Amino acid sequence: MLLNQALQTGGAALQRGDWNAALEYGRIAAALAPGHAGARSLLGLALLQLGQITAAIAELELAAAHDKHNAGLLGNLAQAYAADGRHADAHQSFRRAQRIAPAHWPYALGAAIALAQLGKAVAAEPLLQRLAARHSQQATLWYNLGNVQLQLGKPADAEQSFHAALRLAPDDADTRLSLGSALHQQSRFSAAESAYRECITLQPEWIAPRLNLISVLIDDGRFDAAEAECHSLLERAPDLAEAHRFLGAALGHQGKQRQALAEYRRAVECAPDEALSRRCLGGALAECGQLHAALRVLAQAEALEPDTVAMQQLRSMVELAHGLFSDGWSAYRQRPAYLLLSKKWANAAITQTLPDTLAGKQLLIRREQGIGDELFFLRQLPLLQARGARITVYASAKIAELIRRANIADAVVADTEPPPGGADLQIFCGDLPHALQPCPSSPRPRQDLPCALRDYPIRIAAYFPLPAPTLRIPALPDATSRMRLRLRELGAPPYLGITWRAGTAGRDQRGADWGLTKEVPLQQLGATLRPVNGTLIALQRLPAAGEIDALAAACGRPIADFTALNESLEDMLALLELLDDYIGVSNTNMHLRAAAGRAARVLVPSPSEWRWMNRGKRSPWFPQFSIYRQSLSGDWTPALAQLERDLATTAQA
């Protein structure tokens, strides 16, 4: 009588969510009947709800041992195993329950979910598809099928499954959130935003959809909107590290590096043991010119999460931008381009190092990244020639002929042809600086040795050799004649080329993996060029509709449109050799201007690309170029004011 009363009262407590009362009556029942399956089950379920998973499993195992053919007990035990991360045991228990009660679909669902948790989503998907087809009115089956499809990288299929679930349960916030993820992964950012906002409407206090909303706004290039959502979220959760990180990213993408730094500091304060927050802080410190503080924080991040590719990639950008070339080139081996291309050419036996003796060796140099990067890295080839190597360059077809005229290789093959065979060694051009560097990289910091003065060792080479000079590529005489004639038709010199954007603009990138974007506001640039004498020539690749007219209006005079020359690099090289001055952001034309042996004025956004260094008016890679830097607060005014003064001084000379 007492046992039944304890079981009934404890069961009622479980039903209404009074876990402590259920635990008390479960203990009473187990004390009254230690071998009673129901008593052990009640006690185990109460412990499970209270988060005492190990104790819960022990009780539920006893219950299942006393009643081996009770599907409900096996299902509860499987849930406990799953909560403990023991997915193989959970799968086995769900399968046993399924055999006892084959008509009860939740056991089959649990078994499929356990498979997915074991990394066997390929096996789980058809099981869930059959279950959803057989029990098509069960929203949870469609929901779980969608989640497995997301795990398999099938966001379009997942989207359809989530829509099926929402037709049955339109107010389910979990499904709305997962639908947003499926849309997000397809780069359908507006639709994903709507799904996340609907989820927030259903669950206003839920943090996850708010974070996802911020993420999709950043991926969509809407940094000001993401910034506003971050502030809204931080009003609810001021100590949420991820929200501070997102705010730092939104600010950083707007060029507001100092404000971004403050948010990354706050993220570390909120989550001091989180490697990602420290990585972000380290990168922000470096962008703000605080090198040693940055390296110290990055070392701390690496101690929390050793040997990550993301850390090596960030380290390379930081160290190269601050002139730590040996360290930077060593870390540069983990750049995204190499990781991608080394998989594509896995059978080509590509190396990242070179032997001491190269005399007589046949080397195949492979292209990577963009045309400008290719021109930049091929400056290393004379060093290989000096060591007796025979060099074949597998180059972009667009610049193959230019590279031939640079006289830096024995052969140049355009990448419209198959890669040539017979090479003793193959290497990507981006690995040449590391492979040829004369100094070893610094030792990594030891975490077991506290250092009061400096906790990040840096090897200093007092007479570090200057970087290899840029390639020198002569323009074709007939191209030079054509461009000289075109310039004469425009009017009187001096002739000034202009480029205001490079890379992919934030509003057009639309994705999580952001490439570098460089852009100067047209109105500010035009106002700077208004007092300059001479003929202005637009060299912008793929200008947007109306951009040249807008710049001309800001300059107060016409601008010649030579933008089509970006599709004829021979003509562009000849023009850049003839221009009196070239002003713009870093792009392929800057590399061509250097190859033409001419100076330029480079407008460098914040944060700066590593080849333009973190600070200073010159870069060792392009010593003849003058640098004008956007401020750490995102303001172009000081840089453009200096540009205007320098242009005026040049005109007076």
Residues 6+ positions from 269 with CB-CB distance below 8 Å: none
Return the structure tokens found at 214: 């911020």
Residue 506: band (very low, low, confident or very high) from pLDDT cuts 50, 70, 90: very low
Per the model's pLDDT, the better-predicted residue between 439 and 651 turns out to be 651
Report the pLDDT value the prediction gives residue 451, as an integer from 0 to 100: 41
Nearest alpha-carbon partner for 529 in 649, 604, 641: 641
Residue 97 has pLDDT above 60, yes or no: yes
Q: What is the CA radius of gyration of the chain?
A: 32
Residue 518 has pLDDT above 90, yes or no: no
Q: Would you state the CATH architecture of domain 477-652?
A: 3-Layer(aba) Sandwich (3.40)
Weakest mean pLDDT among 95-99, 156-160, 504-508: 504-508
- On whether the CB atoms of residues 524 and 640 are closer than 8 A, the answer is yes
Residue 152 in 3-state DSSP? Answer: coil
CA atoms within 13 A on the CB side of 351: 13
Report the pLDDT value the prediction gives residue 467, as an integer from 0 to 100: 85
Report the pLDDT value the prediction gives residue 459, as an integer from 0 to 100: 55
Residue 150: band (very low, low, confident or very high) from pLDDT cuts 50, 70, 90: very high
When pLDDT is averaged across residues 242-267 and rounded to a whole number, the result is 96
pLDDT digits (tens, 9 = 90+) for 603-627: 999 888 999 998 899 999 999 999 9
What is the pLDDT of the chain when averaged over all its residues? 91
Report the pLDDT value the prediction gives residue 652, as an integer from 0 to 100: 78
Residue 464: band (very low, low, confident or very high) from pLDDT cuts 50, 70, 90: low
The C-alpha atoms of residue 318 and residue 283 are separated, in whole angstroms, by: 7
Report the pLDDT value the prediction gives residue 25, as an integer from 0 to 100: 87
When pLDDT is averaged across residues 544-548 and rounded to a whole number, the result is 95
Residue 514 has pLDDT above 50, yes or no: no
Report the pLDDT value the prediction gives residue 265, as an integer from 0 to 100: 98
The C-alpha atoms of residue 386 and residue 352 are separated, in whole angstroms, by: 19
Give per-residue burial for 619-645: e unless 16+ CB within 10 Å, then b.
bebbeebbbbbbebebebeebbebbbe
When pLDDT is averaged across residues 515-533 and rounded to a whole number, the result is 88
Domain boundaries, the chain: 345-436, 477-652
Task: Give me the percent of the chain exceeding a pLDDT of 70.
Answer: 93
- pTM confidence score: 0.84
Residue 490: band (very low, low, confident or very high) from pLDDT cuts 50, 70, 90: very high
Query: Kind and range of the H or E element at 603?
Result: strand 601-604
Residue 423: band (very low, low, confident or very high) from pLDDT cuts 50, 70, 90: very high
Report the pLDDT value the prediction gives residue 48, as an integer from 0 to 100: 92
Residue 163 in 3-state DSSP? Answer: helix
Report the pLDDT value the prediction gives residue 238, as an integer from 0 to 100: 97
When pLDDT is averaged across residues 453-465 and rounded to a whole number, the result is 49
Residue 226: band (very low, low, confident or very high) from pLDDT cuts 50, 70, 90: very high
pLDDT digits (tens, 9 = 90+) for 374-402: 999 999 999 999 999 999 999 999 999 99
Nearest alpha-carbon partner for 48 in 79, 74, 73, 75: 79
Residue 450 has pLDDT above 50, yes or no: no
Residue 595 has pLDDT above 50, yes or no: yes
Report the pLDDT value the prediction gives residue 651, as an integer from 0 to 100: 81
Residue 504 has pLDDT above 70, yes or no: no
| Equal CATH topology for 345-436 and 477-652 | yes
β-sheet bridge partners, residue 414 = 395
When pLDDT is averaged across residues 525-542 and rounded to a whole number, the result is 96
Task: Give me the percent of the chain exceeding a pLDDT of 90.
Answer: 77
pLDDT digits (tens, 9 = 90+) for 48-60: 999 999 999 999 9
Strands (DSSP E) along 472-521, which ranges? 495-499, 501-503, 517-519
DSSP H helical segments within 135-172, as ranges? 139-151, 155-168
Q: Would you state the CATH architecture of domain 345-436?
A: 3-Layer(aba) Sandwich (3.40)
Residue 77: band (very low, low, confident or very high) from pLDDT cuts 50, 70, 90: very high
Residue 528: band (very low, low, confident or very high) from pLDDT cuts 50, 70, 90: very high
Report the pLDDT value the prediction gives residue 456, as an integer from 0 to 100: 53
Report the pLDDT value the prediction gives residue 301, as an integer from 0 to 100: 93
* Among 294-308, 432-446, 456-470, 562-576, the range of highest mean pLDDT: 562-576
Weakest mean pLDDT among 1-10, 128-137, 358-367: 1-10
Residue 26 has pLDDT above 90, yes or no: no
The C-alpha atoms of residue 154 and residue 641 are separated, in whole angstroms, by: 51
